[in-house]
Amino acid sequence: MKKDQQTQARATFNEIADAWQKLSQKSEKYSLVQNRNALVLKELSSWPQCSRFLDIGCGTGQLVVEAASSGHQAKGIDYSSAMIDHCRDNARKAQVDAEFELISIFDVSTASKEYDVISALGFIEYLPRTQLDTFINKVTDMLAIDGKLLVGSRNRLFNVTSLNEFTDIEIELGNFDNLLRQAMAFQSAEAQDTSFTFLEAFVNAEPQPNSHPNTGVNVDTRYQYSPGEIYSRLQAAGYRLDAIYPVHFHAFPPQFKKDNLVEHERIARFIQEQAPSDIRVIPWCSTLIFVASRDI
């Protein structure tokens, strides 16, 4: 019998925890994980020390450890026991007071308005679409009224520029034209147009396939979202979208990238360092981080 997405994801992350630990270490090479973490730490740097920070789906915990090292009250949760073992070991080695818990976010007892900043990076792609709004509402109950939510998402607009099997899927589902128009809208926006009102034309949910091509993570379905769809869901939950950070810029098509990894990494690192908030590069980035504030 086919396993559900959550069961597949938990089993996979237990299997790859050791590899993820190595992948998450600081390196001179471009790292998607380090890029994402750096952007969250940038947002955290504007908050006072001892601010309360929660990372959902914390992996091997490097982001939480760094946040604790900067003086924040930092906690990470994950439903992979192997990941949490690495988290606690990393905290001990760093000699920081970081808290980790083996639990699903849906099993957390909600402490009203407990956290100032909450991040969930590389997490919502493993949720059934029917649970996405439930997740946002759950997090909203945990976030202070003036708090910040940072949500990472695989970028569906990248399917327009990747020119691979994901592009074929969007054409077959009838999504390609709408995604292309949305990608083009980012080219007319300012470097970081924090009103994001142009996304109101793209708030409809695009049809999703029943399964996705293999992405290196052993799950049948790994969801992607366009900026317009995330914008819509955040607005509906009472958030104001403050920023969209592009993550992992792809200067080359995926097949060409495989044969030119050094140059790919060099350009990706340049974008990470020089244009971390330039939304014009979004259609060529495989991941996005949405930064949102509570409006109510």
Tell whether the model's pLDDT for residue 11 goes beyond 70. yes
Q: What is the pTM of this model?
A: 0.94
Q: Output the 3-class SS for the chain.
A: CCCCHHHHHHHHHHHCHHHHHHHCCCCCCCCHHHHHHHHHHHHHCCCCCCCEEEEECCCCCHHHHHHHHCCCEEEEEECCHHHHHHHHHHHHHHCCCCEEEECCHHHCCCCCCCEEEEEECCCHHHCCHHHHHHHHHHHHHHEEEEEEEEEEEEECCHHHHHCCHHHHHHHHHCCHHHHHHHHHHHHCCCCCCCCCHHHHHHCCCCCCCCCCCCCCCCCCCCCCECHHHHHHHHHHCCEEEEEEEEEEECCCCHHHHHCCHHHHHHHHHHHHHHCCCCHHHHHHEEEEEEEEEECC
What pLDDT sits at residue 133?
A: 93
* Contact (Cβ atoms closer than 8 angstroms) between residue 221 and residue 152: no
Q: How large is the average pLDDT for residues 100-128?
A: 91
Please indicate whether residue 111 or residue 229 has the higher confidence score (pLDDT): 229
Of 35, 53, 59, 38, nearest to 116 by C-alpha is 53
* Contact (Cβ atoms closer than 8 angstroms) between residue 287 and residue 32: yes
Buried (b) or exposed (e) across 127-151, using 16+ Cβ within 10 A? beeebbeebbebbbebbbeebbbbb
Tell whether the model's pLDDT for residue 220 goes beyond 80. yes
Please indicate whether residue 61 or residue 253 has the higher confidence score (pLDDT): 61
Determine the Cα–Cα distance for residues 137 and 254; give it in Å rounded to an integer: 36
What pLDDT sits at residue 277?
A: 80
Residues 144-169 have pLDDT tens digits of 999 999 999 999 999 999 999 999 99
Tell whether the model's pLDDT for residue 272 goes beyond 80. yes
Q: How confident is the model at residue 295 (pLDDT cuts 50, 70, 90)?
A: low
Considering 58-67, 111-120, 208-217, the range whose residues carry the highest mean pLDDT is 58-67
Q: How confident is the model at residue 1 (pLDDT cuts 50, 70, 90)?
A: very low
Residues 127-141 have pLDDT tens digits of 988 899 999 999 999
Tell whether the model's pLDDT for residue 5 goes beyond 80. no
Fold for 5-294, please state it.
Answer: Rossmann fold (3.40.50)
Determine the Cα–Cα distance for residues 286 and 281; give it in Å rounded to an integer: 10
- Mean of per-residue pLDDT scores for the chain: 91
The percentage of residues in the chain with a pLDDT greater than 70, rounded to a whole number, is 96
Residues 64-93 have pLDDT tens digits of 999 999 999 999 999 999 999 999 999 999
What pLDDT sits at residue 195?
A: 81
Q: How confident is the model at residue 30 (pLDDT cuts 50, 70, 90)?
A: confident
Q: How large is the average pLDDT for residues 184-204?
A: 83
Residues 42-55 have pLDDT tens digits of 999 999 999 999 99
Tell whether the model's pLDDT for residue 8 goes beyond 90. no
What pLDDT sits at residue 214?
A: 82
Which residues is 288 bridged to in the sheet?
A: 153, 246
Determine the Cα–Cα distance for residues 293 and 291; give it in Å rounded to an integer: 7
